[in-house]
Structure 1
Amino acid sequence: MNLRQLEAFAAVMKSGSISRAAQTLHLSQPAVSKSIAELEHALGFRLFLRTKGAALGITPEAEAFHFEVERSFMGVEALKRAARDIRNMTSGSLRIAALPALGVSFLPAVIHEFQQAHPGVLVQLQTRSSETVRQWIANQQFEIGLATRAREMPGIQTERFLRCAGACVLPPGHRLADREVVTPRDLDGENFVSLAAEDPTRRRVDRAFEDVGAEPRVVVETQYAMTICALVRQGVGCSILNPVTAFDYIAHGLIVRPFRPQIEFEYMLFTPTLRPSSQTAQRFIEFMIGKRDRMIAEGLFLTAE
């Protein structure tokens, strides 16, 4: 029993005759008759009663068997639709993990654009520390990860996604608000909201102050950029931050100014190596790259040279 025989049987049941079934299938009448005979032999019972000069007779066994064939065809059609949806990205899901610096500002904008083009895809976004993001990707739990650089890990493919120059963020009305560029000496003695001690960028920021003998007064340490922005906006202090997150808070009164010397913030794109990348994941990465490149072209943040 094969699909060709079942299609011939279904066509005969629908049309009521072998000749009309042959026309529907674009086959010869003998070819359809042969398929029906082979199917009857495989099944072990008669499907049709052929009487010369009379209409084709349908056996009760054929009626019962046709019901099951139709059910199976519905399943095949469902599989075809599923394959088509996957191919056209009109369904499915995508799991993304990112550190908060990109997970609360950059990625929501990308997801919005992506879902305008592919509304049937469910996007699952988890925001965690860079260490957790890298571990999830290494465990093959997520398809896309954005986090800071780290030592090589098995099961991960790494490439640089974004490198940008840190900006100085100031509370509304701050005395340095009119400066075109802020330097470490400008922040000497200022209340300062610092990145957490374990953040690799924290050491570069500290070194920039040490090199010129400037000593800002650290009043808060925290690991998340969005928390720093909220604290600075409340007037707790100023900070040096990645501009991707900072620019989202300008509309809320935050003042963002270039900082010299340049402090680089670098973010990596992580993908799992032990599972093939889906078409959906590849397409989403294209959207991420497009959004990143437009932001650079619009001057929303500086790309470090």
Structure 2
Amino acid sequence: MNLHQLRFVREAVRQNFNLTEAAEALYTSQPGVSKAIIELEEELGVDIFTRHGKRIRGLTEPGRAVLKSVELIMQEIDGLKRIGKEFAAQDSGSFTIATTHTQARYSLPKVVQAFTQKYPKVRLSLLQGNPRQVGEMVLRDQADMAIATEAISHVDGLITLPCYQWEHVVVVPPEHPLLKSKMLTLEEIAAYPLITYDSAFAGRAKIDHAFSIRNLKPDVLLEAIDADVIKTYVELGMGVGIIAGLAFDNERDKGLRALPAGHLFGTNVSRVALKQGAYLRSYVYSFIELLSPTLTRKMVEQVMSGEKDSYEL
């Protein structure tokens, strides 16, 4: 048994059981991958994959158990490599963050700027997607961490920690009738066409839930993943917008007005997600501390090691 065989098994599953694509991803030949997997099966005495002719189609029951062990072993190997790299170069390397558009556009710029000034030799990359997608990126080792709303806490295999709280706001053009309201209500908002987030983004589930428990069915005219898109169509007079409060700036959004809506849709929490058992380099801890000063390295280490079950703001 060797590490190449374990890598081939893991990559075959990741490539949807296509050995040609698995071989390409690992820069080797398809026959070599197939032979190595067969040799591993013979050594273990079980079939890892189900087959139709020469093609593999899926995992057998023992194969699923083997895959879990392979994932753990490869995770430990990756951790050893990272330890070596960190001790060899404490202030350089690569760092990939998976996050949503709202976080990348409105929450992270100042944090990223401060981080790159502190660690100029670190190659920082940002990947974008919805909360579940960015969580999966961390699980698949495509990213070191993910930053998104509470929905990311539902992804198995991740440890999530709260960074900061925020609330939604209702955005309207100047002189809009809703600006006369002393305390905005759901009934008042539902009287207008709504422009808000796609169902997978920025607390949309809380928005829908708030209307639902009041038996209101607002006319959602347009859904988007981008607050800037929402604001653009609100400025055109097409409807009332509901966006994350952090996405509104009085100076930048002079053509709009914002009304607080936390009392209607509740408080949301942006969270940082890390892979269970992952080895974190020193500058990853530094980034987390820049993102949320309440999250110290010691606290993150305690949660990652299992000394502490959770932490809430």
TM norm structure 2: 0.58
Shift of 1:250: 4.5
Matches of 1:199 and 1:239 in 2, distance apart? 14
Q: How does 1:169-184 map to 2 (within 5 A)?
A: 169-177=171-179, 179=181, 181-184=183-186
Which residue number in structure 2 is paired with residue 78 of structure 1? none
CA contact (8 A) 2:166 2:269 kept: yes
How many residues are paired up?
210
Which residue number in structure 1 is paired with residue 282 of structure 2? 279
Which residue number in structure 1 is paired with residue 95 of structure 2? 94
CA contact (8 A) 1:171 1:237 kept: no
Q: For each residue in 1:188-242, what CA deviation from the matched residue of structure 2 results, as whole angstroms up to 9, or x when unmatched?
A: 3212113334558434323433444555432112233343233223332212222
Question: Where in structure 1 are there 5+ consecutive unaligned residues?
Answer: 1-81, 293-303
Which residue number in structure 2 is paired with residue 159 of structure 1? 161
SS in 1 for 2:280: coil
Question: Where in structure 2 are there 5+ consecutive unaligned residues?
Answer: 1-84, 296-311
Which amino acid in 2 is paired with 1:279? S
Q: How does 1:35-54 map to 2 (within 5 A)?
A: none
Shift of 1:152: 4.2
User: Is 1:105 the equivalent of 2:118?
Assistant: no
The structure with the larger Rg is 1
Which residue number in structure 1 is paired with residue 303 of structure 2? none
Matches of 2:231 and 2:141 in 1, distance apart? 32
Q: How does 1:122-133 map to 2 (within 5 A)?
A: 122-133=123-134
Which residue number in structure 1 is paired with residue 221 of structure 2? 219
Q: How does 1:238-249 map to 2 (within 5 A)?
A: 238-247=240-249
CA contact (8 A) 1:140 1:275 kept: no
Distance 1:276 1:264, change over 3 A: same
Which residue number in structure 2 is paired with residue 115 of structure 1? 116
Which amino acid in 2 is paired with 1:145? A
Q: Percent identity?
A: 20
SS in 1 for 2:146: strand
Which amino acid in 2 is paired with 1:251? D
User: Is 1:135 the equivalent of 2:136?
Assistant: yes
Distance 1:228 1:251, change over 3 A: closer
SS in 2 for 1:257: strand
User: Is 1:265 the equivalent of 2:268?
Assistant: yes
Which amino acid in 1 is paired with 2:171? V
Shift of 1:117: 2.4
Between 1:181-190 and 1:283-292, the stretch displaced more is: 283-292
Which residue number in structure 2 is paired with residue 234 of structure 1? 236
TM norm structure 1: 0.59
Shift of 1:269: 0.9
